[in-house]
Structure 1
Amino acid sequence: MIQLTKTQKQYLYTEKTGNVLTGVTRAFEGVAQSWGAGTRVARLFSAYDHNTFKANIEDLDNRLGNIPAPQDASLTQKGIVQLSNATGSSSDTEVATPKAVKNAYDIGLAAQAIINNRDGYGTTTNSGNVYTVALTPAPVAYVDGLRITVKINAANTGPVSINVNGLGAKSVLKSNGSDMTANALQANSVYSFVYNGTAFILQGEGGEYGTAVASDVLSGKTIGTDEGIVSGTMVNQGSIGTKNLTFQNDSYTIPAGYHNGSGKVVSTYEAGRTVQESSNVSLGNGAKVYANLNGKQCAQISANLGGYTGGGWSIRYNGTENYWMV
């Protein structure tokens, strides 16, 4: 809308192209007037503009007044929700932020690394006690709980480490956390290892071993050791039966090995007795005695051919029996 002066009447137009007006309505508010060619006109704020502007504001205010107050969102209606960085929340009124999504993604990657190797299997190569293995699918990183299953190509001779798919060498420890001992890993045997964040731990080892060696174990029996199953070498002596001691200070050497406890050693030599001087004392062929003659202690007397002299007494063998004589 234009007008000639502040006091002259207004004209409404719908389009202006250069200096050409089209869609002109004369005397839009008031009496029509004419102007000559070249008359200067201006676009001024009119009562029409004011009334239109005022009507628009009132309409907008009315519309805003009819908008309901915002409600919290739920599973059944739209509404306002709160942002959250949590990755383990069970809330159904909060929405995850990009940070939460990224954290969940990273957790998923770590879990995928474990899943990728749950059934992973490979045969090792080695340089001494440093082993390498390439698993398919390949793990993306060492993470807690990563499980690998490998076939060992050569027995170890000391502490072991393993490099999985080029991720770096990590120690391999026994279930008690100690280093591997020689031959703990046998050639062509299959083992499972689980990563604990620092090292791989051998699974299914079966606990601790004692200090027993082959000579401590009964022949025919076996024992588990760090080096595997060992056969015992201890001789099973069973029962040694009854062994007799026939004279004072006599002895019996117990053979090495296992005894079942039923054997025994008994003393059968004759008790001391008193005899008269010059009396013949019958001992029997090969007998041994310890005698006290007239209160005089005699040495042990052995029935040996050729006789034995001790304490002033002698013993002789006449071909049939032993006897004392002065």
Structure 2
Amino acid sequence: MKYTQNFNLKKPDGTDNVLISDLNENMDVLDVEVGELKNGSASIPDLETEDKTLKGAINEIGEKVTANKQALTEHSGQIATTEKLGHIKPDGETILVDPDTGIASAKVRDPKMNTYYATTTGAGFSYAVTIEGITEYYDGLTVAIKIGTDSVGNCRLSINNLPFKNLLNTQQVDIGYKGFFKAGSIYTFRYNGTAFILQGDATSGTYRKWVYNLPLQNNWTGEIHYQKINEHGVIGIVGRVSLGTNAVGTVIGTLPAGFRPFTNMAVNLLLYHESTGTIPNGRLIINSNGNIVVAQTLDKTGYVQFNTLFNADY
């Protein structure tokens, strides 16, 4: 006589007499086991549910599915607040997301942390943009602007018809000399309370800092900045100055040794007449001795702008 592994049913050998009572006993065992499966009362110890019976485990799983479905339904229509997460963000506000985990935070980010984007209108050196939601300038305001036309001088920016503010580099020096800002390129600025400061590099990896400020002479005022641009001795000079004595030959300032051209060179400039808006051309001469002199009498009141590059005479 042998017995089955799971239910210990009797299995007569080939030489055993088959007893009706053994068959009946086997049938009774099967009836009980199959009945428990049918009505769900069979217990399975390895189930991960709290209830180990089939019926109880299935009901328990169903209850959890229903609860999760209800939670998702509520979440899909829930507005996020500082106390709880929600599927819908409040108008004008942004939910913070942890950049490492990608998990949303229950805190609502200040919309002032946003970076706004727009394309400029206007030409020359006065750029304007329209950005929904900005009604005032505030410290830290960040805008990314796509330039509509090449710059022709030191530039300024107005948002939504607010007052124009100068565009400066990180040294808080005017930038935007002719061709500095290129049409179609995007530049990011951050407002510091008085001006918009260019963020990062606008050219080639290391921002050109115009750290040298040339002392001016003969009642000329404003700023002329110069610097070595690269290791090959190229000098860059950019200026925005108000007129002082402007007779031909008047020295405006003198570049130091190492920042002077090989030979005398002419520099075209623009004169902005603030009262009439006229923009006549003019010229300066940068001599090999470093003197920057007036080459053409300028009889208008206003200021002049210029920029140029040359090789230094070492």
TM-score normalised by structure 2 residue count: 0.31
TM-score normalised by structure 1 residue count: 0.30
The structure that has the greater radius of gyration is 1
Q: Which has the higher contact order (CA 8 A, sep 6+)?
A: 2
